[in-house]
Structures are given as structure tokens and as C-alpha cells.
Amino acid sequence: MPFATNVIALILSVAALALGREFFIPVAMAFCFHALLRPVVRSLERIKLPAAAGAAIVVLGGLALFVVGGWVLSGQVSGFMQKAPKSIATARAKLREIGRPLNRLTDAAAGKSTAPAPAQQGATPPPAPPPPPPPPAAQSSVPSVFTAFLGQATAFIAGLLQVLVLLYLLLAAGSMLFRKLVKVVRGPDDKRTVSDVFHETESIVARYLIVTALINVGQGIAVGLAMWAIGMPDPVMWGLLTFVMEFIPFLGGAINVGLLLITSFTAYSHLGQIILPPALYLVITTLQNNVISPYAYGNRLKLNPVAVMICVMFWWLIWGIPGVFLSIPIAATLKVLGDQVPRLSALGELLGE
């Protein structure tokens, strides 16, 4: 009976997370960035600056960096979006051209004859098929793409405002939330556990975001230089996209590989040149994941790769791309809870290495 009750509670919790995503995503985002920016506000408090003023400076400064970064990236991305329909059409044509030898081999293996039958003497040749209709102008599909983006703009801005307001309130409140949590818990051991979980989670999440940002800067520079060295169009855009997309585990890298492959079909004609840009990106990403990241993250973020992949897939299903971004901080928080709370020790064992 307890097992069935736990299963029902788990299903109801997942359903609540999925149905209440408009509420839970801004809250989770705000707490995530609170862990990152709280040390900065605490440093400003040491120089006699009130917490409310320090929180306003930090939030407005972060918003300014976000706007400047979006403005720098928007020019590059808008040019790419304008060329996207033509690039996709070119990629499809070249893929069909590359696949023709394979189709011939497949037909030969199936016993089909692809050679044309010899023409009979005196027979009139069959009429030529009518020419295909001209393809629509490449620019005609661009408005639909921008319409789709503009359709999401209102929801994105509303969610961003919610995150900023909640983040400001959390930062301006200082340690009030921590004091409230400790106060409502009974028993000195439980109070000590809450304190340890709170501080360790804040430290791990902040370290993860800072180290990830530094790694992404290095990886973006490496990708941009590699694309410039092989003559790939817009190497600066690829470096910036790498920095942004690598904050999304697994999915961001897959999107970058797909975009590089589509663009390389337009930029190059030979198969080796077409494969080179995504291959270089995969080499750089593999070196980063297997050499740099384990050393940079250290021993504090020891998560099971299989469990991390499952967490990424789960939160992508529940919350989409914001869930993928939050999946590692959430997994790290659950790992800390599993290590500190005896009743959740199985969770820590499953998530740990």
C-alpha cells in the first residue's frame, strides 16, 4: 500500500509540474540565478550598501548584459534566418545528389534494373515531362519564421519580467528566506541539515553556472577560430551561438551540429568539406566534455552521466528548453538532498557516480 501511494504521489507531482509550468519555471529560474548572484549582493553589503540597492544594481546590470548580448547576436542570427530557406533547399538538393549512388546500389541489390531500355527503331521518343513549377521565392517563407518568433515574444517577455521581479525580491530579502526555513524546522539536527543543504546547494549551483560560462567562452572562441580557419561563413556567429547553446546540455550541441551541417551544404560542394565544420565542432565538444569539464567542475559536481541524461530528457519533456537548462542545477540539488537527508539516501546514490 505505501508503494502504491508513493507512485500515485509521484504521478500527481509530475502532472502538477507539467500543468503549472508557467508558475514553476520562473520560480526555478529565479532561485537558480539567486544562487549565482547572492554572493555579489553579499559583497556589496560588506561595503555598507543596502541589500535592496545592491539587488537593484545586480539585477539591472544582468539585464543590461542580457540585452547587449541579445543585440549583438540578433544581427548575426537575423542574417542567418534570411538565408535559411535557401540553405535548406540547397542542402536537400545536395543530399539527393549524394544519395543517388546509394539508391542505385540499393536497386541493384533488390534486382531492379535502372538502365533505360533500348529504344526501338522508328519509335518516337516519349514526350518529355513538363518542367516542375518554379520554387517559391526564398524570401516568402521568411515572414512566417519571424511570425512564429514574434508569436512567442509576449510569453517570453512576461516570463522574463516574472523572473526579474522574483529574483530582485529574493536578493533584496537577504538571508530572510534562510532564517525562515531554519525557524520552521524543529530540532537542532534538522536545523543543521537545512543549513547544510541550503549553503551547499547555493555553492554548487553558483559554481556550476560560473564554470559553465567560462567553459562556454573558451569553447565559443575555439569554435569561432576553427570556423574562420576553414573559411566557414559568419565565424563570429558560430562562436556566439556555441557560448549560448552550450548552456543547454546535449540539446544545444545537437542544434549547433545541425545548423553547421545545413550551412556547410550551402558553403561547400565536396562531401569532405561539408562534413568538416560539424566534425570540428564535435571534436572540440568531445575534448571539452572529457578533458576540461571534469577538471574544471572538480569533485563537487559528481553526477552519474546516465542519470544526468535521464534528468535532461525528463525536464525537456516537462518544461521544454528551460527545463533542459535547469536540469543540471535540479539534479545537483537533489544530489545534495540525497547526501544530507538519510531518508533520501537512495536518491543521492542513484544520482552520484
The residue among 140, 148, 272, 285 whose CA lies nearest residue 223 is 285
What are the counts of helices (DSSP H) followed by strands (DSSP E) for the chain?
13, 0
pTM of the model: 0.74
Confidence of residue 138 (pLDDT cuts 50, 70, 90): very low
Contact 167, 34 (CB under 8 A): yes
Distance CA 52, CA 173 (A): 7
Distances (CA, A) of 185 to 130, 174, 180, 203, 344: 80, 19, 9, 22, 17
Q: State pLDDT tens for residues 261-310.
A: 888 888 787 878 888 999 999 999 999 888 888 787 766 677 888 888 88
Model pLDDT, residue 128:
54
Q: State pLDDT tens for residues 66-110.
A: 888 778 777 666 666 666 666 677 666 666 666 666 566 666 666
Distance CA 320, CA 24 (A): 12
Contact 326, 319 (CB under 8 A): yes
Q: State pLDDT tens for residues 299-319.
A: 667 788 888 888 889 999 999
